């Protein structure tokens, strides 16, 4: 008669020591012979993310447009402060809120006498206002140029014009 031998049940630290981790790691591609490969992958990822980070930082702080070598137009530079990130005060800090409102508060909103926020300046009206302002500037330039031409012609003919 053959006597069956039972394996002792391992628990705790004995069980932990008996598990061959390298065998399982080797099966999923993380064995000792794969270390060089994963080291190269890590380096590639590090370089890639570094390049993306530098490009992102350059995009945030660049005087040029993104992917262009043309400088930003004068109008865009003048209006850049409207689109830059703003630091908003913590809502519980009354003194900082008062200072924030005194400096102009949120762009596009005005605080009425009763403290109600009135948002009458929407982006469409603002764009029309900017187009009108640009049109007026161009008209003024043209008017001054024409005026200067007439004055110079009259001065050439001998008239005293100021």
**Which pLDDT tens digit goes with each residue over 68-78?**
555 677 887 78
**Which pLDDT tens digit goes with each residue over 127-156?**
788 888 889 999 999 999 999 999 999 999
Is residue 13 scored above 80 in pLDDT?
A: no
HSE-up of residue 49 (Cα within 13 Å, Cβ side): 6
Cα–Cα dist 133/139, whole Å: 10
Is residue 62 scored above 90 in pLDDT?
A: no
Contact 52, 46 (CB under 8 A): no
User: Can you point out the beta strands (E) in the chain?
Assistant: 110-111, 117-118
Q: Report in angstroms the alpha-carbon separations of 137 from 141, 148, 150, 151.
A: 6, 16, 20, 21
Collapsing DSSP to helix, strand or coil, 55 comes out as helix
> Which tokens hold the place of 88?
């908003």
- CB burial class (10 A; 0-12, 13-18, 19+) of residue 97? middle
**Which pLDDT tens digit goes with each residue over 82-124?**
666 667 777 788 888 888 777 766 655 544 444 444 455 556 6
Question: Would you list the domain boundaries of the chain?
Answer: 15-58, 73-123, 124-161
Q: For residue 122, what pLDDT is reported?
A: 58
129 φ, ψ (degrees, to nearest 5): -60, -40
Q: For residue 86, what pLDDT is reported?
A: 63
- CB burial class (10 A; 0-12, 13-18, 19+) of residue 160? exposed
């Amino acid at each position: 008669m053959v006597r069956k031998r039972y394996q002792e049940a391992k628990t705790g630290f004995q069980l932990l020591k008996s598990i061959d981790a390298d065998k399982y790691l080797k099966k999923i591609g993380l064995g000792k012979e794969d270390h060089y490969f994963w080291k190269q992958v890590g380096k590639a990822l590090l370089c890639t993310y570094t390049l993306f980070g530098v490009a992102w930082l350059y995009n945030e702080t660049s005087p040029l447009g993104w992917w262009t070598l043309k400088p930003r137009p004068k109008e865009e530079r003048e209006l850049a402060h409207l689109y830059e990130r703003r630091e908003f005060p913590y809502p519980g800090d009354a003194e900082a809120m008062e200072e924030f409102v005194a400096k102009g508060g949120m762009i596009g909103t005005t605080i009425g006498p009763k403290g109600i926020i009135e948002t009458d300046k929407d982006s469409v009206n603002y764009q029309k206002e900017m187009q009108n302002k640009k049109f007026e500037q161009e008209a003024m330039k043209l008017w001054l140029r024409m005026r200067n031409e007439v004055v110079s012609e009259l001065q050439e003919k001998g008239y005293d014009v100021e």
